[in-house]
Amino acid sequence: MPGSSLWLVPREDSELYKTIHDLITNKIPSIYPIAVPRHFAPHITLTSGINNPNAESSDPQKWLDSITLPDPSNLEIAIQDVEVGSVFFKKITMKCQKTHELCELAATCRAAGVEGLGKHGAQTWVKESYLPHCSLM
């Protein structure tokens, strides 16, 4: 998958972050030992495949700050199920509910980051392909 990804990361001082971080770094590797455990920040991928030339500039923060994001005050993440899969980035995940607010945020990020997609294309992607989840392994 070429390009970069945008993640929604809980605050590091939150119980959610601490719990998921413990699952990723300690609990799951102790149950399913693998040769080289991969440690990563707890997150929900909002979009991947970012190929916008501005996103890869010497100042990606400037590009991020230029995106007009929806109001986050109503954003809630509801974890539904744990799923086991065969894809490398989705070996063990917690499926998240596709709420209107989360889908709006993901579509906004996708439209801003995937060159030539536009708002309509991003909304179609959210409806047809977006599968919000939190990777654990």
Band the pLDDT of 8: cuts 50, 70, 90: very high
What is the tens place of the pLDDT at every residue in 23-48? 988 888 888 776 566 778 999 989 88
Q: Other C-beta atoms within 10 Å of 16: how many?
A: 13
Q: Does the pLDDT of residue 58 top 80, yes or no?
A: no
b/e map 56-69, b = 16+ CB within 10 Å: eeeeeeebeeeeee
What is the tens place of the pLDDT at every residue in 61-87? 888 888 899 888 889 889 988 888 776
Q: Which domains does the chain have, with CATH numbers?
A: 4-135 (3.90.1140.10)
pTM higher than 0.95, yes or no?
Answer: no
